[in-house]
């Protein structure tokens, strides 16, 4: 089997999109971005949620993670299905399905994905509540984040490494600045003044890069087979990435670092309205003023969401096919 190649994975991912680029754009931008926003404007009168899947944080409309208004909840739920469905439909299209079949599969797979997100969010929420106390706050944060990070690495590889890249870059800069300026606790101030949380986030970010590398083929396996069996896909992705996990992790680290620099750069250039982007925009001001920069990030991010894992999967499967031929 050939060594994993970053250039090869990127090239195959780009070709995956380029072969039917117009259809991919129509699916990702039309189904995944424009239609959810259109529903929000038509039924609410304006944007009410980030254009990327961000409903794994606090509820922007109240104290819980679900809203009490059935209409708002229905709009949000439809947006999640359309957004995630556009990813799966694009993957299915790239693996040879017809447009109609790809769209149907995408929406069905999105239901499975959103159900998994809901389970992970519920486990994290209630698991952390069981142990939360001043003495066990660190453990509660870990319990809350663990299932969410697993789901992000599983379903949203590009977004996962982007978040990990932002966290690593910000904390690395804060630690460096703190060491130079003599304010050692500067990094801790970014996460509420608790240095242990800063260390935890650094460690979890590193784990997230590796976990994304091991699970990165899951969605592509599902789409290639036209299957909704996410557990079989997890097993096969874990097996497929075993030998090349270090190289894939390096590739995803590079992707995450570049995306992290882009997000931080936009935040600096555009100011207050961009602060919520690395955190999904949930629980922070979201209005027309913040919509344009979010769209500017969401469009290429949607393309990369499909392109990155598809390129890795195609490279690994091409290598496996070649190895089987010559064995």
Sign of CA dihedral 143, 235, 309, 23: negative
Asked if the structure places residue 284 within a domain, the reply is yes
Domain count, the chain: 1
CB atoms within 10 A of CB 179: 12
Structural domain boundaries, residue 219: 6-326
- Asked whether residue 12 carries a pLDDT value surpassing 90, the answer given is yes
Better-predicted residue by pLDDT, 282 or 72: 72
**Once rounded to an integer, what is the mean pLDDT over residues 151-158?**
93
- Is 1 part of any domain? no
Mean pLDDT score of the chain = 80
Minimum mean pLDDT among 139-143, 260-264, 290-294: which range?
290-294
Instruction: Give the single-character DSSP code of 58.
Output: -
Residue 76, pLDDT > 90, answer no
Let me know: does 56 contact 121? Beta carbons within 8 Å. yes
Question: What ranges in 47-136 are assigned the alpha helix state H?
Answer: 70-94, 99-131
Q: Is the model's pLDDT at 154 over the cut of 90?
A: yes
Q: In the predicted model, is pLDDT for residue 81 greater than 50?
A: yes
pLDDT at residue number 234: 96
In this predicted structure, the answer to whether residue 313 has a pLDDT above a threshold of 80 is yes
**pTM reported for the whole predicted model:** 0.84
Query: Mean of the pLDDT values across residues 60-75?
Result: 59
Interval 168-187 mean pLDDT: 70
Mean pLDDT of 293-301: 80
pLDDT of 321 higher than 50: no
pLDDT digits (tens, 9 = 90+) for 21-37: 999 999 999 999 889 88
Distance CA 111, CA 150 (A): 18
92-138 per-position pLDDT tens digit: 999 999 999 999 999 999 999 999 988 998 888 888 888 877 677 77
What is the pLDDT confidence band of residue 78, given thresholds at 50, 70 and 90? confident
pLDDT band with cut points at 50, 70 and 90 for residue 70: confident
Q: Which residue has the higher pLDDT, 260 or 138?
A: 260
Q: Under 8 Å CB-to-CB from 125, ≥6 apart: which residues?
A: 65, 144
The yes-or-no verdict on residue 238 having pLDDT over 60 is yes
């Amino acid at each position: 089997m050939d060594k994993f190649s970053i250039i090869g994975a990127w090239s195959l991912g780009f070709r995956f999109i380029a072969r039917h680029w117009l259809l991919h754009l129509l699916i990702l931008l039309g189904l995944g971005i424009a239609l959810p926003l259109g529903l929000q404007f038509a039924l609410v009168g304006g944007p009410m949620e980030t254009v990327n899947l961000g409903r794994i944080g606090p509820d922007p409309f109240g104290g819980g993670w679900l809203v009490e208004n059935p209409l708002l909840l229905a709009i949000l739920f439809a947006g999640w299905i359309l957004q995630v469905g556009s990813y799966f439909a694009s993957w299915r299209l790239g693996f040879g399905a017809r447009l109609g079949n790809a769209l149907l599969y995408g929406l069905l797979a999105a239901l499975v994905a959103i159900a998994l997100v809901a389970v992970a969010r519920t486990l994290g929420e209630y698991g952390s509540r069981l142990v939360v106390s001043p003495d066990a706050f660190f453990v509660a944060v870990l319990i809350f984040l663990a299932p969410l990070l697993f789901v992000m690495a599983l379903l949203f590889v590009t977004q996962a490494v982007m978040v990990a890249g932002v966290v690593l870059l910000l904390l690395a800069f804060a630690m460096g600045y703190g060491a130079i300026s003599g304010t050692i606790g500067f990094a801790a101030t970014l996460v509420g003044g608790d240095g242990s949380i800063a260390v935890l986030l650094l460690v979890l970010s590193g784990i997230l890069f590796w976990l994304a590398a091991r699970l990165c083929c899951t969605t592509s396996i599902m789409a290639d087979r036209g299957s909704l069996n996410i557990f079989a896909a997890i097993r096969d992705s874990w097996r497929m990435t075993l030998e090349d996990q270090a190289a894939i992790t390096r590739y995803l680290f590079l992707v995450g670092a570049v995306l992290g620099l882009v997000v931080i750069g936009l935040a600096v250039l555009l100011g207050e309205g961009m602060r919520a982007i690395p955190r999904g925009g949930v629980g922070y001001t979201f209005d027309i003023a913040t919509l344009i920069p979010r769209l500017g990030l969401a469009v290429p991010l949607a393309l990369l969401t499909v392109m990155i894992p598809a390129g890795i999967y195609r490279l690994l499967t091409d290598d496996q096919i070649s190895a089987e031929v010559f064995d």
